[in-house]
Amino acid sequence: MIVALLYLALAGAYLLVIPVAVLFYLKLRWYVASSVERTFMYFLVFFFFPGLLVLSPFVNIRPQRRQIEV
């Protein structure tokens, strides 16, 4: 029983909890990241792709609005 609960907790973390944290991290740092940090971001997206795919229908992150000065 404990093993089943452990598997359920790990699956929930892999498919829901950590991808939500990754999405917030990407939203905060996407436009200001260095090349090394961007490589780390790509790794996170690759590693947690199944969880991001599960969350993708519910997430709509739009680009930041451009400030046009005349």
pLDDT, tens only, 29-38 = 988 999 999 9
Looking up tokens 């005349």, which residue turns up?
Answer: 70
pLDDT attached to residue 65 = 81
pLDDT, tens only, 28-67 = 998 899 999 999 999 999 999 999 998 888 888 777 788 8
Q: Which two tokens stand for residue 13?
A: 């973390």
